[in-house]
Amino acid sequence: MTTHSVSQTKAAASVADLAQADFADLMREMTVDVETTGRLLKLSRNTTYKALRNGEIPSVRVGAQYRVPTAKLRAMLGVSMPETAAA
């Protein structure tokens, strides 16, 4: 039987919260930043930037910052938007 320290338990909880927050951003926002994109794709920061520069991840530049359109990121991940009720 393994025992987990309080810090390990808190770290696991914060990772779960972060993943939930990233997914919420994916579903709610028009674009997300590089760090969120990397976490969603399970890529390192450097690999994410390389993929952005190579065009492997669709992005737009706003000044010096890359932003990733969530519609295209959802398509890459195979995640669809939930249907909304007709007005």
- How many Å apart are CA 72 and CA 67, to the nearest integer? 11
- Among residues 61, 60, 54, which one has the least CA distance to residue 73? 60
Q: Which residues make Cβ contacts (< 8 Å) with residue 69, sequence separation at least 6?
A: 30, 31, 58, 59, 60
In tens, the pLDDT along 29-79 reads 999 999 999 999 999 999 999 999 999 999 999 999 999 999 999 998 888
Confirm whether pTM is higher than 0.75.
no
pLDDT in tens, 4-14: 443 443 444 45
Can you read off the two tokens belonging to residue 10? 């808190």
